[in-house]
Structure 1
Amino acid sequence: MVSVVLDPLPSDDEMRALWLASWGDGGPASWQPVLKQSLVHVGAYDGPRLVGYVNVACDGGSHAFLLDTCVHRDFQRQGIATLLVKTAEAAARQRGAKWLHVDFEPHLTAFYRACGFRPTEAGLIAL
């Protein structure tokens, strides 16, 4: 059974292994700055093994941003991503956020709608 942990401190190696299995690349050189600046981050563990992760960044006020939702390919389609998002939502609310934003690719629309997100207009500039 997978357990969910608020604000775990996985090593860069653990994060890299999860990122590789989820997205096919290693992600940033170090995850530690991301973990330290989060409003909350949530890890899903199968025993000691990190198998899922989501991050919530914050503007320091009422807006929070869901980022980097991922689940190891061997653990997908088991409800873990939904559990991560719902846990992150509750923690962000408890920590003072009033709005939780998420950007996603079109193929993830059904997933995020099932998690309770509704569509909004937004803008984006690639930097």
Structure 2
Amino acid sequence: MKEDVPALAYDSGATPDLAELLELYGSVGWSAYTKEPQTLVAALRGSTTVVLARAAGRLVGLARVISDGATICYLQDVLIHPDYQRLGIGRELVARALQPYRQVRQKVLLTDDGPGQKSFYEALGYRDTGDFRGGTVRTFVRFD
């Protein structure tokens, strides 16, 4: 698939249909989202910004942000269909998703420790909180 990638189209503000969302999330193994489709739909509706990537009309990537628009934004759910990974789509999605929040100082991301996660997000300017010395940053999370 990567040899003949169709032209990509990026879209902010469009709402993908549930079937294509489930296909995309399922393609990367994010079953916590696909097990509860209505929760996934509600999450996208509640997001401040959603940016989609399409190739020949097919949903191949998504990034979303949740923010107050002034002091903090959370980059959430950056995912690219495996057939389209390592083509710069993730980088472009993140740039477009964060563009409205240039003035926001605190940009937060919570992700798993899958292969490539650390290097991908560090290349985008994020730092692992474990890399901060002197106790300047702490991370707390609660999953219920």
Report TM bin, short chain.
0.7 to 0.9
- What corresponds to 2:91 in structure 1? 82
Deviations 1:8-30 (A, max 9, x none): 20011110010111225325312
- What corresponds to 1:14 in structure 2? 20
Structure number with bigger Rg: 2
- What corresponds to 1:125 in structure 2? 142
Residues 72, 104 of structure 2: 8 Å contact kept: yes
For 1:24 and 1:126, the matched residues in 2 are separated by: 16
Q: Flag structure 2 segments of 5+ consecutive residues without an equivalent.
A: 1-6, 130-137
- What corresponds to 2:81 in structure 1? 72
Deviations 1:91-110 (A, max 9, x none): 333xx744221012334111
Q: Which runs of 4+ in 1 moved over 3 A?
A: none
- % identity of equivalent residues: 26
Deviations 1:20-63 (A, max 9, x none): 11225325312331222111011001021100011111256521
Corresponding residue SS for 2:28: helix
- Output aligned runs, 1:1-127, within 5 Å: 1-23=7-29, 25=31, 26=34, 28-30=36-38, 31-59=40-68, 61-93=70-102, 97-106=104-113, 107=115, 108-120=117-129, 121-127=138-144
TM-score calculated relative to the size of structure 2:
0.77
For 2:121 and 2:72, the matched residues in 1 are separated by: 18
| Number of corresponding residues | 125
Question: Pairwise CA RMSD of aligned residues?
Answer: 1.9
For 2:83 and 2:69, the matched residues in 1 are separated by: 35
TM-score calculated relative to the size of structure 1:
0.86
Residues 2, 44 of structure 1: 8 Å contact kept: yes
Q: Flag structure 1 segments of 5+ consecutive residues without an equivalent.
A: none
Larger RCO of the pair (alpha carbons < 8 Å, separation 6+) = 1
